[in-house]
Amino acid sequence: MNSFDETDEFASLVRRASILLSAGISPSAAWGFLAEGYAEQSDGDENREVPKSKGAPIGKVAQYVAVRATTQPVSISIRDSIPINFDKPDNSGKSEELWRLLGLCWEVAETVGAPLAASLDVLADSIQEISQTHREIAAALAGPKATSRIVLMLPLVGLLFGTALGFDLIGILLSNGIGIFCLLVGAALVVTSIFWSRSQLRRALTLEANPGLEFELLEIALCGGISVSQAKQVIERASTRFGITTNMSKTESILMLSQRAGAPIRNLLNAEARFLRRKVQIESRSAISKLAVRQLLPLGICVLPAFMLLGVAPIMISIVSTVLGASN
């Protein structure tokens, strides 16, 4: 199971929890039903190979939360499940982050008495939108990644082509003084191009982890009927417990707008969160479009000179050596 499928499955879990709660089922009972669903899937697929995923399986954590939620608040159960199910280096990453987000939103809603079902709907929408953005980015990056790999093969192709023509290019690169210089410089250029291309790809993939999170959390907290200052305090305490960084100062402009205009603050917060997620999506598309052009820089500055040094220069050295040897 890849990270995209895992994220979609988690969003589905959150959505199912919201539906169960909106039907009047208690939080502990809702988690019991969710855990039973995963247990039934596991029993029915005993002979099927379980796909490998990075992080603890969602069903495993859900079952842990279901058991603990009968004796303590769900948010505490989720918080307790994280160090147990994500204590290994290979059991970390996106999966753990999603559970932290769920625990954070659940604790905020529990603390202020906000409707849990509506709060989970907000979270599920956010997770699905962010997952869709990441899918689009991965698809758009497929072209630049393939181009980068193909271009990096040019020096090797030149070396093999010269060897196929009957030139002892490897011997020249390893024994001739000028050939050794060409080998060292060409190899250095290829390595530089690899790191340069990877650096460009990493920058294109650098996205804000949870755009609009502060606005959504404040929207959830205000559903409990508390003041803005109290809501911020609740969010900051819960964020600290779950190890998620939040910057509530981002919401100040929206709060001031609501006060001046007398507009519904929750609607403004929801609209701003959606705007920020859409902004990240647009900026990522723009970055990837520029990446396709920037990938030409390693080609022109590093790969083509490396091709000349490793594929063409040894042939010229061989020809010159042959001519000089014949004249002598």
Q: How does pLDDT run along the chain (328 residues), one tens digit per residue?
A: 566 677 888 888 999 999 999 999 999 899 999 888 776 555 444 443 333 333 457 888 888 888 888 888 898 989 888 877 776 544 445 788 889 999 999 999 989 988 899 889 888 888 888 788 778 777 777 777 777 777 778 788 888 887 887 778 788 888 888 888 888 998 898 888 888 888 877 776 666 667 888 898 998 998 888 888 999 999 999 999 888 888 888 888 898 988 888 888 888 998 898 888 888 878 877 877 777 777 778 878 888 888 888 888 888 888 877 776 666 5
Contact, 23 vs 62, CB < 8 A?
A: no
The Cα–Cα gap between 212 and 2 comes to 25
Q: Which two tokens stand for residue 98?
A: 């999603």
Q: What is the pTM of this model?
A: 0.72
Phi, psi of 263 (to 5 degrees): -85, 155
